[in-house]
Homo-oligomer: A and B are copies of this chain.
Amino acid sequence: MQAPRRPGRWASLPSPNVREAASMYGTAVAVFLVILVAALQGSAPPESPLPYRVPLDPQGTLELSWNVSYVQEVVHFQLLVRTLRAGVLFGMSDRGELENADLVVLWTDGDGAYFADAWSDGQGRVHLDSRQDYQLLRAQSTPDGLALLFKRPFSTCDPKDYLIEDGTVHLVYAFLEEPFRSPEAINTSGLQGGLQRVQLLKPEVPEPALPPDTRTLEVRAPDVLIPGQETTYWCHIAELPQGFGRHHIVMYEPVVSEGNEALVHHMEVFQCSAEFESFPHFSGPCDSKMKPQRLNYCRHVLAAWALGAKAFYYPEEAGLAFGGPGSSRFLRLEVHYHNPLKMEGRRDSSGIRLHYTATLRRFDAGIMELGLVYTPVMAIPPGEMAFVLTGYCTDKCTQLALPPSGIRIFASQLHTHLTGRKVLTVLARDGREREIVNRDNHYSPHFQEIRMLKKEVTVYPGDVLITSCTYNTEDRTLATVGGFGILEEMCVNYVHYYPQTQLELCKSAVDAGSLQKYFHLVNRFNSEDVCTCPQASVPQQFASVPWNSFSRDVLRALYGFAPISMHCNKSSAVRFQGEWDLQPLPEITSTLLEPAPQCPASQAQSPAGPTVVSISGGKG
C-alpha cells in the first residue's frame, strides 16, 4: 500500500492549487499540486525498477521511464512531469501523430483531477475508452516533479488501443494549458505536443560479464558547438594508435554530455576502408562542402546507438574484431543532433565508449547484408500508401556459404531511406516460414538502432531469408527506384552474427529481362510510350510509365513472379562461384500467421470509466 501523503513535501512546489486554477480557467497556468489515487487498485509499485528512460519533449519537461514484464505482458510506465500546467496527454500512435492515438489523459475540470484511458480520432477529437486498459498505480510529488506510475498490457484486444509490439514505438505527448470539463472537450490539434521514438519492448538479454582485461576507447565529438538548426549530422574522424593490434569489441555504450539528453538523437561509429593508407582529419557537419570526399569510404559499422538504447553487449562467445593488419586505423563518428527548438550555443562532447579486449573470444562476429540489391530495377510506384518490395537470400546461397553448424544471428539493424515504413525478415526452411528474424511494423528511417534479438536465430545451409520493406510514396509523383541516393530507396537488414563467414551480402533484385517485358506489356496495354529501346536507362523507363492501378498491380505481380538475380557475395564486388542470374523465386507454401493478440482475461479490477484522483491543496 502506498504511504499516506505528507503535506510537508508538496509545499516545496511553488504553484497555486487546482481549485484556484479553476478560477483561472482560460489562463494557462493551472497547476496540479498533489494527486492521490483513489486507491481502488491496491497495486503496489512495480516489483522491479524502471531501467529505461527517455526525455519526451526537447526541453525535457516530460520524461518517461519504463520496464517490461514479458511474463505478465505488461509495461509499467512512469511519466515524470517536471512542470505541470492543467494536464498532460501521453500515448502511442502508428507513426507519431496525435490523431488516431491511444492516450492516457490527466486533466482537471477545475474541481477534481482525473486520469483516464482515451483515444483520439482522425480529427484529433479525444474520446474516453470503453475499456480502461491503462491503470494508474501511483501519483506522487517528487522533488523533480509529479511522477505518475501506470501500467498497460502489451495487447488489450480493444481495437481502439495501440498494440505494443517489437520494434519502434512512436510515443506522443501534449500539454493541457487549461481545465477541460471532460476529455471529449479536448482536441489534440490545438495542443502543443510532439513525438519521441523508442524501442519500448527492450530485449531481456542477460548482460555477459566483461573480460578482466577489458579496456575502453571513447570516440567522442570534440566539444562541438551544436548548430542552431533542427537537424545536424556531425562527422568526426578519430584515429586508433599506431600499431594498435587486433582486438574484440565486447560491449559499447553511449556517452551523452549532461544536459544534452534530448538533443543527441543517434550516434554511429564507422570504420574506414583499409584500401586507403590514411584519412584526413575532419570535424564538421557531414553535409559540409568542406568534408573530404574520402570520408565516404568510412561505412563499415562498428557501433550504433539511438535514443533510448542502453549498452550493447556482444554474446559471450563472440566479439567484433577491429584493429590489426588489414583494417584501417581510422574511425568516423557520426552524431545526429535533433534541435527542433533551434537552441544556440549548446556545446556537446557526446560519443560512444567502446569496450574491447585483446584476449580474442572464440568467434569473430560478422555483419551480413540481407534484402535488396541497390538497383533501379526494384521500384515503387508513386502515390502508394503501402507498397511492398521483397529481397531474398536463397537456399542456394546459404547452402554454399554457411557452415554445416549454421550461424547465429544475435542482432539486427534495419535500413531504408525516406519512404520506408515497415521492415520484416523471416527465415524459411523447406518452403515454410519458420521464424521472424526481426520485424518493425512502425519502422522509421529516422530511428535506426542495432537491436539485440530477443532470441538468437540460427540459420543453416539451405535456409532462405526473406526481407520485405513497406514504403509510402503518397507524396511522390514519379516512381522511386532503388539506389544509393537519399531520394532513392533501399531495403536492407544488417544482421550481426557469429561465427563470421565469407558471406557479406545475400541480396536479390528482379531479373532485368523480365522487367523489360513489363515495360513492353505496359506499353501494349496503355498504348503509351515507355521507351524499351536499349539506350533508355531503367530510371528513365520507370519515369515514363503511365502510373495507374493496372501498371502498378502488374509491377507488383511481376515482382511476385519473375525470376531474380542474386548477389551472393564475399564482399560487395566478389561473388561466390555459381550461376546467380535467372534464379527462381523461393517457393513458400506456408507463411507464419500474424500472432493473434492475446486478450487478457476479464480484469475485474479495471475500472469502466475514468479514475477520480483526489487533489489536495499545497497549503494544507
Q: A78-97, CB under 8 A of B: which get 1 and which 0?
A: 00000000000000000000
By beta carbon, the residue of chain B nearest A600 is B130
Docked Cα-Cα span, A564 to B159, in Å, equals 38
A588-616 contacts to B, CB under 8 A, are 596-604, 606, 608
Q: In the complex, what residues of B have CB within 8 A of residue A554's CB? A: 553-554, 557
Most B CB atoms within 10 A — which of A157, A554, A601, A602?
A: A602
Q: Is the CB of A596 within 8 A of B548?
A: no
Cβ of A604 and Cβ of B601 under 8 Å apart?
Answer: no
Q: Report A252 CB to chain B, min CB distance, Å.
A: 41
In the assembled complex, the Cα of A425 lies from the Cα of B534 at a distance in Å of: 48
Bound-state Cα–Cα, A131 to B600, Å: 8
A429 CB-CB contact with B under 8 Å: no
How far apart sit A598 and B159, CA to CA, in the bound complex (Å)?
Answer: 8
Per the 8 Å Cβ criterion, residues 514-572 of A in contact with B are 517, 520-521, 524-525, 548-550, 552-554, 556-558, 560-562
Pick the contact of A557: B160, B553, B562 (CB < 8 A).
B553
Find chain B residues with CB under 8 A from A562 CB: 550
Inter-chain contacts of A558 with B (CB < 8 A): 550
How far is A561 from B599 in the complex, measured between Cα atoms in Å?
41
Q: Which A residues between 131 and 168 are near B, CB-CB below 8 angstroms?
A: 131-132, 157-160
Q: A600 to B157: give the CA distance in the assembly, Å.
A: 11
| The one of B158, B596, B599 that contacts A131, using a Cβ cutoff of 8 Å | B599
Cβ contact of A560, chosen from B131, B517, B550, cutoff 8 A? B550
A557 to B526, CA, bound (A): 13
What B residues does A553 contact at CB under 8 A? 553-554, 556-557, 560-561
Total copies of this chain within the assembly: 2
Residue of B nearest to A550 (CB): B561
Chain B nearest CB: distance from A74 CB in Å?
Answer: 15
The chain B residue sitting closest to A159, CB to CB, is: B596
A interface residues, how many (CB within 8 angstroms):
35
Across the interface, do B608 and A601 meet the contact criterion of CB distance under 8 Å? yes
Interface residues of A in 40-54 (CB under 8 A from B): none
Residues of chain B with a CB closer than 8 A to A550's CB: 557-558, 560-562
Check if B557 sits within 8 Å of A130, measured CB to CB.
Answer: no
Q: Which residue of B lies closest to A160 (CB)?
A: B596
CA distance A131 to B562 in the complex (A): 46
A132 to chain B, nearest CB (A): 8
Closest B residue to A597 using CB positions: B159
> Closest CB of chain B to A219's CB: distance in Å?
48
Proximity bits, A96-138, B CB within 8 Å = 1, else 0: 0000000000000000000000000000000000111000000
Interface contact A602-B131, CB-CB below 8 Å: yes
* A602 partner residues in chain B, CB cutoff 8 A: 131-132, 602-604, 606, 608
Which residue on chain B has the smallest CB distance to residue A603? B602
Chain B residues near A159 (CB, 8 Å)? 157, 596-597, 599
**A517-B524, A524-B521, A525-B517 are contacts. A158–B557 as well, Cβ < 8 Å?**
no
Give complex CA distance A320, B5 in Å: 76
Indicate if the CB atoms of A598 and B525 lie closer than 8 Å.
Answer: no
**A548 neighbours in B (Cβ, 8 Å):** 561
Residue of B nearest to A609 (CB): B601
List CB contacts (< 8 Å) of A469-527 with chain B: 517, 520-521, 524-525
Closest to A558 in B: B550
Given the complex of chains A and B, what is the CA–CA distance between A598 and B603 in angstroms? 18
Near B by CB (< 8 A), chain A positions 145-202 give 157-160
- Please determine whether A599 and B525 come into contact, CB atoms closer than 8 angstroms: no
| Contact in complex: B561, A598 (CB < 8 Å) | no
Contacts of A549 in B (CB 8 A): 557, 560-561
Complex Cα–Cα for A520 and B517 (A): 13
Contact residue among B157, B524, B603 (Cβ-Cβ distance under 8 Å from A158): B157
Task: Give me 27 A-to-B residue pairs in the complex whose CB atoms sit less than 8 angstroms apart, sorted by A's number.
Answer: A130-B601, A131-B602, A132-B602, A157-B157, A157-B159, A157-B599, A159-B596, A159-B597, A159-B599, A517-B524, A520-B524, A521-B521, A521-B525, A524-B524, A548-B561, A549-B557, A549-B560, A549-B561, A550-B557, A550-B558, A550-B561, A552-B557, A553-B557, A557-B557, A601-B608, A602-B606, A602-B608
**6 A-B pairs closest in CB distance:** A553-B557, A550-B561, A159-B596, A157-B157, A130-B601, A549-B561
- A interface vs B, CB < 8 Å? 130-132, 157-160, 517, 520-521, 524-525, 548-550, 552-554, 556-558, 560-562, 596-604, 606, 608
Given contacts A521-B525, A553-B557, A553-B561, 10 further A-B contacts (CB under 8 A): A130-B598, A131-B601, A157-B599, A159-B597, A517-B524, A550-B558, A550-B562, A553-B554, A554-B554, A557-B557
